[in-house]
Amino acid sequence: MIFFIILFLSCVTIKINLCFSSIPSSLKTLPIDGHFNFQQVEHAAKDFGNRYSFLPLAVLYPKSVSDVATTVKHIWRLGRGSELRVAARGHGHSLQGQAQARRGVVINMESLQDPKMQVHAGNLSYVDVSGGELWINILRESLKHGLAPKSWTDYLHLTVGGTLSNAGISGQAFRHGPQISNVYQLQVVTGKGEVVNCSEKQNNDLFYSVLGGLGQFGIITRARISLEPAPLMVKWIRVLYTDFTTFARDQEKLISGESAFDYIEGFVIINRTGLLNNWRSSFSPQDPVHASQFKSDGRTLFCLELAKYFNPEEMAPVNQEIKSSLSQLNHIPSTLFISQVPYIEFLDRVHISEIKLRSRGLWEVPHPWLNLLIPRSKIHSFAQQVFGNILTDTSSGPILIYPLNKSKWDNRTSVVTPEEDVFYLVAFLSSAVPSSTGSDGLEQVLIRNQRILDFCEIAGLGVKQYLPHYSTQAEWKSHFGSHWEAFIQRKSTYDPLAILAPGQRIFQKPVAYS
């Protein structure tokens, strides 16, 4: 009996190995304009999170949308007898291996640049771009026409397909919504290898499925992004608070109605010394004498960060508008710092930090980020426990916190948010020092993240993860809540064999054994 079991298992192993060994040769015969690489695939098993590494069998470098469709359709036709799956990889800024495909095919979307980017100026201005285009390149090209997209992420060296598969949030989202609220049209390759154009009026179920769909329903190969007239300059402002209630009240006041500001974010600072002196390299204090006397040592502070876009000829009225708006806030007067920078410099501000960190070897380290969307009614309970008890410092990375208006989000997309009209993004953007056993070490950051999640669960805060990551389908079901059945239905319609985005670990490909 044991002999037959061993024989059976050996046959299964041989069959699986033969199946995988034949896959590269079948891919080699596909009629594509680009090419596959079967040897140098290690880079496709890495991402910004730097915690997971799943080697693919092959990396596709497509030159055309047809290359993507041909590859996906080939794998679709292999059917349930194949375990081969596909992940679209942009700039590799995923955190938990979401753009990886263990023993599958990774599509390098940045090589997909045909047709070229096209800016259309007019009453309804827009730009047509590849799904693999970086937002920084879109900004540079659209600025040549005096235009720019309305909504951004804080970091612009990300691909269009990557951010639109999540949401794309930054300080402009209170007014314009996330990036997925500013898309007119998409071209998508579904899990069946079909190339489909979709919009609000054409194939709209696929359109809204893909937006915020975590790559589960299709690969975004082209997008039409809304544009608006671009300013030349930015007034960039920072002020501090010691009281969270006052800080949150001012933030919520600013995002309601017609705010004077175009960008509103906040961040938390715990146990930092010489904070205002650090700001002086980029900002000027409104009151230098009192600013020099302010002590931040050992305190928990909340920074409100604001930006007002303008053109040089508007300087006088803009200054007056800013002065009037700031007079209605309750920040610490001596902590008002202002800078004036070009628009592109403001939007690309994180890249400057990236260059500095790379020069010190501190960029390609583990990034155990935790991003949460928290209902407005629960934010004070969250702040009291997390900023008051769980966290002792913010030395491992910035903590962003700012409110968003749900009315600017389209509930037809795949993104799930808290039910309330206003909710907060709280982002713990940690960088772990690999060799450290202290509070900035990977293990300690992960323990802290779990303590935060456990508190949210026990306290029943109704929190949703942004850039979500879960280990089981039960957890994913809880994440999507009442939207879960619709999510499953969309999956069965557009990717019934669960070929796409295996790194999200939401669905398992149904495999037939014979």
Q: Tokens for 280, please give them.
A: 């002086």
Given 3-state DSSP classes, what are the helix, strand and coil percentages for the chain, each rounded to the nearest 5? 40, 20, 40
CA 245 to chain CA centroid, Å, is 28
Indicate the pairing of strand 195-199 with strand 118-120.
unpaired
Catalytic residue among 93, 176, 367, 469: 93
Q: Report how far apart, in Å, the C-alpha atoms of 158 and of each of 73, 92, 155, 418, 474 are.
A: 27, 8, 7, 26, 30
Residue 120 is a catalytic residue: no
CB-CB contact of 344 with 143 (8 Å): yes
Distance CA 410, CA 234 (A): 29
Exposure pattern of 330-344 as b/e (b: 16+ CB <10 Å)?
Answer: ebbebbbbbbeeebb
End-to-end Cα separation, the chain, in angstroms: 21
Angle, helices 65-78/2-28, rounded to nearest 10 degrees: 160
Chain position carrying tokens 């590849």? 130
Indicate the pairing of strand 218-229 with strand 195-199.
unpaired
Q: Up-side HSE of residue 19: CA atoms within 13 Å toward CB?
A: 20
Catalytic residue among 154, 194, 228, 420: 154
In this structure, the number of other CB atoms found within 10 A of the CB of residue 261 comes to 23
Catalytic residue among 265, 305, 348, 495: 265
Residue 348 is a catalytic residue: no
Q: Report how far apart, in Å, the C-alpha atoms of 385 and of each of 102, 210, 380, 389, 459 are.
A: 39, 36, 9, 5, 10
Torsions phi, psi of 100, nearest 5? -110, 160
Residue 250 is a catalytic residue: no
Question: Using the 8-state DSSP alphabet, how is residue 230 labeled?
Answer: P
**Catalytic sites, residue numbers:** 93, 154, 265
